[in-house]
Structure 1
Amino acid sequence: MLSNRVGTLLLTALAPAVWGTTYLVTTEFLPPGRPLLAAVVRALPAGLALVAVTRRLPQGVWWWRALVLGALNIGAFFALLFVAAYRLPGGVAATVGAIQPLLVALLSAGLLGQRLSARTLIAAVTGVAGVSLLVLRAGARLDALGVAAAAGGAVVMATGVVLSKRWGSPAPLLATTGWQLVAGGLLLLPVALLTEGAPPVPTATNLAGYAYIAVIGSAFAYALWFRGIQLLTPTDVTFLGLLSPLVATALGWLALGQELSAAQGFGAIVVLGSLVAAQSRRRGQGAKDADDAKNTHVTLGTSPAAATVAATNSPDTTRS
Structure 2
Amino acid sequence: MEDKWSWRWIGVTAVAPVSWGATYWVTREFLPADSPLWGAALRALPAGILLLAFARRRPIGSAWWRAAVLGALNFGGFFVLVYVAAQLLPTSLAASIMALAPVALAGLGWMLLGARPTGAALTGAALGIIGVVLVVGLATTVVDPRGVAVSLTALAMSSLGAVLTTRWREDAPIMASTAWQLTMGGLMLLAAAVVVEGAPPPMTAPSLLAFSFVAVVATAVAFLCWFAGLRRLAPATVGTVGLLNPVTGIALGTLVAGETLTALQLAGAALVLVGIAVGRRESRPRPRPALLRRADARPDCVTR
TM-score (norm 1): 0.86
2:298 aligns with: none
1:5 aligns with: 6
Rounded Cα–Cα distance in structure 1 between residues aligned with 2:138 and 2:190: 34
The 3 A distance-change label for structure 1 pair 142 and 306 is farther
Name the SS of the counterpart of 1:81 in structure 2: helix
Q: Which stretch of structure 1 is more off in the superposition, 1-10 or 23-32?
A: 1-10
- Alpha-carbon deviations, 1:12-31, whole Å to 9, x = none? 11111111111101110111
Q: Which stretch of structure 1 is more off in the superposition, 251-260 or 114-123?
A: 114-123
2:214 aligns with: 213
Consecutive unaligned residues of structure 2, counting only runs of 5 or more, are 296-304
Rounded Cα–Cα distance in structure 2 between residues aligned with 1:268 and 1:242: 10
TM-score (norm 2): 0.90
Q: Are residue 228 (structure 1) and residue 191 (structure 2) matched?
A: no
* Contact in 2 for aligned 1:72/1:156 (Cα 8 Å): yes
* Contact in 2 for aligned 1:35/1:86 (Cα 8 Å): no
Rounded Cα–Cα distance in structure 1 between residues aligned with 2:26 and 2:86: 11
* Contact in 2 for aligned 1:230/1:307 (Cα 8 Å): no
Name the SS of the counterpart of 1:57 in structure 2: strand
Rounded Cα–Cα distance in structure 1 between residues aligned with 2:198 and 2:134: 38
- Residue 309 of structure 1 and its aligned partner are, at CA, apart by 6.4
Residue 24 of structure 2 aligns with an amino acid whose one-letter code is: Y
The 3 A distance-change label for structure 1 pair 214 and 83 is same
Q: Which stretch of structure 1 is more off in the superposition, 214-223 or 82-91?
A: 82-91
- Residue 308 of structure 1 and its aligned partner are, at CA, apart by 5.0
* Contact in 2 for aligned 1:89/1:141 (Cα 8 Å): no
* Contact in 1 for aligned 2:18/2:245 (Cα 8 Å): yes
- Residue 169 of structure 1 and its aligned partner are, at CA, apart by 3.7
Q: Are residue 306 (structure 1) and residue 291 (structure 2) matched?
A: yes
The 3 A distance-change label for structure 1 pair 97 and 138 is closer
2:261 aligns with: 260
- Residue 159 of structure 1 and its aligned partner are, at CA, apart by 0.6
2:301 aligns with: none
2:302 aligns with: none
1:93 aligns with: 94
Rounded Cα–Cα distance in structure 2 between residues aligned with 1:61 and 1:242: 33
Q: Are residue 30 (structure 1) and residue 15 (structure 2) matched?
A: no
- Residue 151 of structure 1 and its aligned partner are, at CA, apart by 1.3
- Residue 141 of structure 1 and its aligned partner are, at CA, apart by 4.9
- Alpha-carbon deviations, 1:24-68, whole Å to 9, x = none? 011101112222211111100110121133221112111111111
The 3 A distance-change label for structure 1 pair 279 and 309 is farther
1:246 aligns with: 247
Q: How many residues align?
A: 294
- Residue 137 of structure 1 and its aligned partner are, at CA, apart by 4.5
1:41 aligns with: 42
Name the SS of the counterpart of 1:21 in structure 2: helix
The 3 A distance-change label for structure 1 pair 55 and 138 is closer
Q: Are residue 171 (structure 1) and residue 156 (structure 2) matched?
A: no
Rounded Cα–Cα distance in structure 2 between residues aligned with 1:307 and 1:230: 11
1:152 aligns with: 153
Residue 68 of structure 1 aligns with an amino acid whose one-letter code is: V
1:143 aligns with: 144
1:315 aligns with: none
Please tell me the root mean square deviation across aligned C-alpha atoms, in Å. 1.9
- Alpha-carbon deviations, 1:209-236, whole Å to 9, x = none? 1111001111111111111111222222
- Residue 197 of structure 1 and its aligned partner are, at CA, apart by 2.6
